[in-house]
Amino acid sequence: MENERIIAVRGLEVSARVGVPDEERATPQRLLVDLKFAALSQPETLNDDIALTVDYHTVSLSVAEMAGDHPRKLIETLADEIAEELLSEFGLRWIEITIRKFILPQTEWVAVSTRRESSGGKAESCRNGCEATAEQANLKAET
């Protein structure tokens, strides 16, 4: 296995309308999201260039936007939607997501975790120049 850079975002606070009962979805609630991921393209050196990696700030903004986008009954659904969107939009090799919800009395939190992997091909659409990084990886492989 080649070297792999892993990016982690821990405790990203988002607001979402999520819960099985209608009353629970009536008002937004605080969720904490942990992300761990790796880019499909892993150039040997990054040359201090953000375009050659995944911009975790942009990823975080995307997660917050998706969380508040529309109501859901299950945090599992939210985790699945985030995973699929980030895999395709940011050209990720794999992603692990944990979402913590603070709803049950007498508990600190409840959580769901999921892991998804890319199908291995280049993502159909990418933010943050992942098409360029995939192209650079292909050029390196040809040399």
Tally of domains in the chain:
1
Q: Please compute the mean of the pLDDT values over residues 117-121 and round it to a whole number.
A: 76
- 68 lies in which domain range? 7-142
pLDDT, tens digit, for every residue of 91-117? 999 999 999 999 999 999 999 999 999
Q: What is the 3-state secondary structure (H, E, C) of 62-112?
A: HHHHHHHHCCECCHHHHHHHHHHHHHHHHCEEEEEEEEEECCCCCCCCEEE
126 against 89, higher pLDDT = 89
Q: Is residue 2 part of a domain?
A: no
Catalytic-role residue among 36, 101, 122, 140:
101
Residue 85 predicted with pLDDT over 50: yes
Q: Angle at Cα 6 formed by Cα 30 and Cα 42, nearest 5°? A: 135
Q: Is residue 16 part of a domain?
A: yes
Please give the backbone phi and psi of residue 98, each rounded to the nearest 5 degrees, phi first. -125, 130
Does 36 qualify as catalytic in the annotation? no
Q: Is residue 83 part of a domain?
A: yes
Q: Is residue 30 part of a domain?
A: yes
Q: Is residue 1 part of a domain?
A: no
pLDDT value of residue 142: 40
Q: Sign of torsion, CA 69 74 79 80?
A: negative
| 3-state secondary structure (DSSP) of residue 45 | coil
Domain of residue 116, CATH code: 3.30.1130.10
Q: Is residue 27 part of a domain?
A: yes
pLDDT value of residue 50: 84
